[in-house]
Structure formats: C-alpha cells, structure tokens
C-alpha cells in the first residue's frame, strides 16, 4: 500500500496539506489545489482528557469492589450475579462518561455534520446562516433559519486556542463555499 503522499505524487498532484493540533485532533484541514476541496473536522480536547481516565477509574473501582464484595464481614451473602452486576454497573457508568467525548463536527463543501452527545445532524450550507460563538457560551452554534440554532458541542470554550482555530477554519471554509457558489453562479450566466 502506498501512503497518501506517495499516491498524490504518483498522480502528479501536490500532497495534501494537513494541520493537526495535539492529541485531540482538533482541526484537520485537507486542501487539494485542483478543486480547492476542504474539510474541517473538530473534536473537543480537554473533555476527552478528563472523561477517558474517569471512565477507566470507574471500571477499575467497580471491578475491584465486585471482586471484594464476596468477602464482607456484614453477614450478607453476595452471589456471583451480584458481583457481575457490580462490574456491569461500572461499565455502564464509564460508557455514560464516554458519551461526553462523542461530539464531533465535520464540515466540507457539501455541508456540516454535527454530532453531539446523542444525535447527529447534517446541514447543507444553504441552511446555515452563520457560525457563531456567543459570549459566555460553553460551545459554538450554527445559526439556522427562523431564529433557530444548533449547538456544536465539538467546539468548546474550555479548549481555548483550539476552539479559536476551529472557528477560523470553519469561517474560512464558509467563505470558500460562498466563493465557489459565486463562481458557479457567474459561470452559469
């Protein structure tokens, strides 16, 4: 198998330009000179650094408690099913904590896909009037028609500079979409 650069060079094109910041992979921008295709993928960084260790601790603690549950001096008789249930409870709580690390935003020339904790929505650029980050808000949002908005939990204020860079990348992509739309409109006339 060839790497991405080798395939690009073999095809006679320049290699893709990727910007990857830290372990959280906050914003990835893929640019191809021939069609100016761009994608922006954003995931929260700090919340992932917190919830992953918390999930591991939950599983370990509940598993240790489940193993030690059989040997209690309280006179209560715990069965194997009680121990399995205790370990299972730890796994369920860990899965619940990991849901906080699920948010992701993926934007390209076709639209924006927003995955929050539970649901995923795809919005075309025609539906999105603006991308904003209101003062004091915990995360960014997409301004939609009829004064509605969609929360973008992948771009969180706690990420600081990463969130700022993600918003810049999204706004640059929006400008590229608008420019492409203008080019297509003038070419059709």
Per-residue pLDDT tens for 59-103? 999 999 988 887 667 777 788 898 899 999 999 999 999 999 999
- 27: confidence class by pLDDT, cuts 50, 70, 90: very low
pLDDT at position 69, please?
80
Q: What kind and span of H or E run contains 125? A: none
**Measured between alpha carbons, how far apart are the two ends of the chain, in Å?**
45
Tokens (6 digits) for 142: 């997409």
Q: Is the pTM of this model over 0.75?
A: no
Cα–Cα distance for residue pair 112/19, rounded to 1 Å: 19
pLDDT at position 4, please?
39
pLDDT at position 89, please?
96
- 37: confidence class by pLDDT, cuts 50, 70, 90: low
HEC letters along 107-131: ECCCEEEEECCCCEEEEECCCCCEE
DSSP 3-state of 37 = strand
Region 19-46: mean pLDDT is 58
Tokens (6 digits) for 116: 């929050």
Q: Is the pLDDT of residue 188 over 80?
A: no
Q: Is the pLDDT of residue 31 over 90?
A: no
Domain range summary for the chain, segments of one domain joined by +: 14-44+103-188, 47-99
Residues 91-115: pLDDT tens digits?
999 999 999 999 999 999 888 999 9
- Give every CB contact of residue 97 below 8 A, 6+ residues apart in sequence: 51, 54, 55, 58
Region 126-148: mean pLDDT is 88
Tell which CATH architecture fits domain 14-44+103-188. Answer: Roll (2.30)
């Amino acid at each position: 198998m060839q790497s991405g650069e080798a395939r690009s060079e073999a095809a006679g094109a320049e290699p893709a330009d990727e910007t990857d910041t830290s372990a959280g992979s906050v914003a990835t921008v893929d640019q191809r000179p021939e069609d100016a295709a761009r994608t922006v993928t954003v995931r929260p960084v700090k919340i992932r650094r917190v919830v992953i260790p918390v999930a591991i601790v939950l599983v370990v603690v509940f598993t240790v408690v489940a193993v030690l549950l059989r040997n209690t001096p309280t006179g209560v008789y715990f069965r194997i099913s009680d121990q399995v249930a205790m370990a299972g409870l730890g796994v369920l709580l860990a899965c619940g904590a990991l849901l906080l690390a699920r948010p992701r935003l993926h934007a390209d020339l076709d639209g924006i896909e927003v995955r929050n904790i539970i649901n995923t929505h795809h919005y075309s650029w025609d539906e999105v009037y603006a991308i904003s980050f209101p003062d004091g808000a915990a995360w960014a949002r997409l301004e939609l028609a009829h004064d509605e908005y969609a929360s973008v939990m992948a771009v969180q204020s706690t990420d600081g500079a990463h969130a700022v860079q993600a918003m810049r990348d999204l706004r640059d992509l929006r400008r590229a979409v608008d420019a492409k739309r203008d080019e297509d409109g003038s070419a059709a006339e």
